[in-house]
Amino acid sequence: MTRLLVTGAAGFIGSHVCEALVARGDDVIGVDNFDPFYARAVKERNLEGLRRGPRFRFLEADVARDPLPWDGVDGAIHLAARPGVRPSLEDPAGYVTANVGGTARVLDGARRAGVARVILGSSSSVYGDTTPAPFPEDAAAVEPISPYAATKRASELLAYAFAQLYRMRILCLRFFTVYGPRQRPDLAIHRFTDLIARGQPLRMHGDGSSERDYTYISDAVDGILAAVEWTARPAPGGVCTAINIGGGARVRLDRLIALIGRTLGRAPQVERYPDQPGDVRLTAADLRRAEAELGYRPRVGIEEGIRHFVRWYEATHGRQS
């Protein structure tokens, strides 16, 4: 049995990870500060099933400010962060405090407690707009183009420093647009589904040709669980590496919108707007390192994933007439 500390436990990815850990027999200490980026009630619902079980303990705390419960912890999965490229343009200092400062406190707390195993949630946004596709983790130039992306890259660099200084075993997972049941309401798939289901127009920034590598939540969770095992492997000295967690295919924005509409049985009403500052034209994960190191292979394609998401949306919000 392993005891793991999971930050961002009430969020979309975090709550799914906690459920998977508990289901396989681990003890989990979940931490979340219920940041008002979206409604607290949504996050509270994410925790309902976990709170009923004996293997899950929850602490409301801010990782950038509050002490964390490290006693008896074998490893940490650090997913807490302020999300979103576009909001980071308005509050870059706040994003640095929450994301970089929070990561520094988690890493420092872990090493002081003698916890050497850490998984850090990073993002495909670190690659910016200049890395050739598919994006390899050892790309010569990693140039973020938004404050959010820069905070994720800075967090990775902190992890490298801590690994070398304190002989820690750290894995930085670069997630590529994770979606699925309980996805944040501000993210594109959730927002588009809601608008199309209610017969409302949606904004499409650009001409629809931008592409994303979408990762279904169960695949992302599989990658995180494999990463937990990776951190348990014996290794001389400290080690830190980055690994992509992607869906294995690129999907055009206009195709995504059409697919959601077809799955809902409704015609999308699309309003066209210019590209947004900070948004990249393309994301595409090179998964060779993920397969070699973690045995990771995505299993859920975009059409199956959208069907699962739409079913969850309709079960949660009801079919719109």
* 204 and 147 in a common domain: no
* 252 and 230 in a common domain: no
* 105 and 140 in a common domain: yes
Mean pLDDT of 47-70: 97
* 271 and 149 in a common domain: no
Q: Could you tell me the CA-to-CA distances from 4 to 29, 73, 224, 287 in Å, in that order?
A: 6, 6, 12, 26
The answer to whether residue 148 is catalytic is yes
6: three-class secondary structure by DSSP: strand
Question: What is the tens place of the pLDDT at every residue in 12-45?
Answer: 999 999 999 999 999 999 999 999 888 999 999 9
Q: Considering its fold, how many domains does the chain have in total?
A: 2
Question: What is the tens place of the pLDDT at every residue in 160-181?
Answer: 999 999 999 999 999 999 999 9
Mean pLDDT of 143-147: 93
Residue 213 pairs in a beta bridge with: 250
Give the orientation angle of helix 12-23 with respect to helix 40-51, to 10 degrees. Answer: 0
Question: What is the tens place of the pLDDT at every residue in 264-318?
Answer: 999 999 999 998 887 888 999 999 999 999 999 999 999 999 999 999 999 998 7
Confirm whether 238 is domain-assigned. yes
Nearest 5°: the CA angle 79, 9, 250 is 50
pLDDT at residue 321 in the model? 57
Mean pLDDT, the chain, whole residue set: 95
* 266 and 146 in a common domain: no
* 143 and 266 in a common domain: no
Q: Which residues contact 214 (CB under 8 A, 6 or more apart)?
A: 176, 177, 179, 189, 247, 249, 251, 256, 302, 305
237 pLDDT higher than 90:
no
CA 114 – CA 117 distance, rounded (Å):
9
Q: Which of 157, 183, 172, 184 is nearest to 224 (CA)?
A: 172
Q: Provide the residue type at 171 as one letter.
A: L
Confirm whether 24 is domain-assigned. yes
> Which is more confidently placed, 117 or 186?
117
CA 286 – CA 222 distance, rounded (Å):
17
CATH number of the domain to which 140 belongs: 3.40.50.720
Q: Which domain holds residue 203?
A: 188-211+248-281+299-317
Q: Could you tell me the CA-to-CA distances from 168 to 18, 56, 230 in Å, in that order?
A: 23, 25, 12
* 202 and 161 in a common domain: no
Handedness of CA 93, 99, 103, 106 (dihedral sign): positive
Catalytic hit among 95, 127, 148, 313: 148
C-beta separation of 147 from 95 below 8 A: yes
pLDDT at residue 270 in the model? 95
pLDDT at residue 130 in the model? 82
Q: Which residues contact 317 (CB under 8 A, 6 or more apart)?
A: 194, 197
* 229 and 83 in a common domain: yes
133: three-class secondary structure by DSSP: coil
290: three-class secondary structure by DSSP: helix
Question: What is the tens place of the pLDDT at every residue in 201-226?
Answer: 999 999 999 999 999 999 999 999 99
pLDDT at residue 320 in the model? 67
Confirm whether 290 is domain-assigned. no
Question: What is the tens place of the pLDDT at every residue in 81-112?
Answer: 999 898 999 999 999 999 999 999 999 999 99
141 pLDDT higher than 80:
no
C-beta separation of 75 from 231 below 8 A: yes
CATH number of the domain to which 313 belongs: 3.90.25.10
CA 103 – CA 79 distance, rounded (Å):
9
CA 141 – CA 130 distance, rounded (Å):
8
